[in-house]
Amino acid sequence: MPDTSVSAQLRVRVVYLARLRDALGSAGETFALPADDAPTVDSLVAALRGRGGAFATELAPGRAIRFAVNHRVAGRSQSVADGDEVAIFPPVTGG
């Protein structure tokens, strides 16, 4: 039996791209979230924002940011699972 007295965590790989990578000073990191409250892209962003500093500014509500989960475009309500890769990036400007 797993020890249920400790709240389970899931770990996601977070990738920051383009202007966000520059602004946050990081290309990515592994980030742990509580597994018991059905984490979503939005709850991940809220947790990152809670660090303050550039994370609070760049990920503030209303800022134009986009997401991908496991290399597919995702919305804020998409759930995230252990081992997922979540990319956070500005609106794309290719072509």
Partner 1 sequence: MPVRVQTGDFDIGEEIARLRVGDRGVGAIASFIGTVRDVNDATTITGLTLEHYPGMTEAALDEIVAEARQRFDIRDALVVHRVGALVPGDQIVLVVVTGAHRGAAFDACEFVMDWLKTRAPFWKKERLPDGERWVEARASDDEAAQRW
- For residues 79 and 57, give the distance between their C-alpha atoms in angstroms, rounded to a whole number: 24
**Residue in the block written with tokens 């990578």:** 21
Contact flag: residue 72 with partner 1 (CB under 8 A): yes
> Closer to partner 1 at the Cβ: 6 or 72?
72
Contact flag: residue 22 with partner 1 (CB under 8 A): yes
Contact flag: residue 7 with partner 1 (CB under 8 A): no
**DSSP H/E element including 68:** strand 66-69
Minimum gap (Å) between residue 1 Cβ and partner 1: 38
Contact flag: residue 28 with partner 1 (CB under 8 A): no
Q: Candidates 6-14, 30-38, 46-54, 67-75: pick the segment binding partner 1 (CB under 8 A).
A: 67-75
Cβ(45)–Cβ(19) below 8 Å: no
Cβ(74)–Cβ(41) below 8 Å: yes
Binding-site size for partner 1 (CB under 8 A) equals: 18
> In this chain, which of 8, 32, 73, 81 binds partner 1, going by CB under 8 A?
73
Measured in residues, the chain has a length of 95
